[in-house]
Amino acid sequence: MLDNSARWRPEPDWENARLEGRTVAVRAVTGLAQRLVSGDLDRFLARHGLGCDVGALGLASGGRYAVRVARDRLLVVGLPASECADGWHADGYAVTTMGSALRVLDARGEGVRDLLARATTVDPDDPGPCAALRFFGLTCTVYFHGDAQTLRIHVERGLAASLWEWLECQPLLSGGAGGG
């Protein structure tokens, strides 16, 4: 059988993956608790003191927050399993741990809007209520975290290396130090 694996680059060392450009830097974020919540989202948000969720290119802050990924679905970051078990809850929602299913990247710097213009057709001034959007042709969860110059991107683990290679080729990041 033909072995094509030598044609593929190895995945980046995600613990140390970094790209540096003149106006934007990208790094992998590891160790985040990520949970998918479906069902009665208002009850879930109230029960866990999360306030409201953010949508596409919305601004999330802190270590615990919720991001809207569908009409009846949230990606919750920072809520450990010890505070909310996986499975169906009597309050009308279901919870699933997603930590090993998604890679997380942070892009930071004044060039973030330029990066957005290259990766998506979403208007950053009118992005919409759902943070799940097409980013570099992949469905990713995209929002700002902490400030308007830090873009956080959640991508399926199996597609993260492809997104990373695309980022390495971007003029905003080319010529910088790679973290592969």
Q: pLDDT tens digits, residue range 127-175?
A: 999 999 999 999 999 999 999 999 999 999 999 999 999 999 998 886 5
Residue 120 forms part of a structural domain = yes
Residue 48 forms part of a structural domain = yes
CA distance 156 to 159: 5
- What does the pLDDT average to over 84-108? 96
14 to each of 11, 22, 73, 143, how far by Cα in Å? 8, 22, 27, 20
CA distance 75 to 96: 10
Specify whether 69 is located in the same domain as 109. no
Q: Give 110-136 pLDDT, tens digit per residue.
A: 999 999 999 999 999 999 999 999 999
Residue 82 forms part of a structural domain = yes
Element housing 177 (H / E)? none
Specify whether 126 is located in the same domain as 91. no
Residue 177 forms part of a structural domain = no
Specify whether 22 is located in the same domain as 71. no
Cβ 102 vs Cβ 32: under 8 Å: no
Give 175's DSSP letter: T
Give the predicted TM-score (pTM) of the model.
Answer: 0.92
CA distance 143 to 38: 20
Find the domain containing 115 and state its range.
13-31+101-138+149-168
Helix, strand or coil, per DSSP, at residue 114 = helix
Specify whether 123 is located in the same domain as 163. yes
Q: Give 20-78 pLDDT, tens digit per residue.
A: 999 999 999 999 999 999 999 999 999 999 999 999 999 999 999 999 999 999 999 99
Q: Is the pLDDT of residue 177 over 60?
A: no
Q: Is the pLDDT of residue 180 over 60?
A: no
Residue 178 forms part of a structural domain = no
Specify whether 61 is located in the same domain as 92. yes
Specify whether 54 is located in the same domain as 105. no
Residue 50 forms part of a structural domain = yes
Specify whether 77 is located in the same domain as 88. yes
* Per-residue tokens: 38: 């479906």
Residue 1 forms part of a structural domain = no
Total number of domains constituting the chain: 2
Residue matched to tokens 């306030």: 51
- What does the pLDDT average to over 4-33? 91
Q: Is the pLDDT of residue 8 over 90?
A: no
* Per-residue tokens: 94: 């279901």
DSSP readout, 78-113? Answer: S--TTTS-SEEETTTEEEEE-TTTEEEEEEESTTHH
The whole-number pLDDT of residue 2 equals 80
Specify whether 23 is located in the same domain as 73. no
CATH number reported for the structural domain that contains residue 22 in this entry: 3.30.1360.120
Helix, strand or coil, per DSSP, at residue 46 = helix
Q: Give 63-88 pLDDT, tens digit per residue.
A: 999 999 999 999 999 999 999 999 99
Query: What is the radius of gyration, based on Cα positions, of the chain?
Result: 17
Nearest to 104 by CA among 163, 25, 170: 163
Residue 180 forms part of a structural domain = no
Specify whether 111 is located in the same domain as 26. yes
Specify whether 105 is located in the same domain as 27. yes
Specify whether 59 is located in the same domain as 79. yes
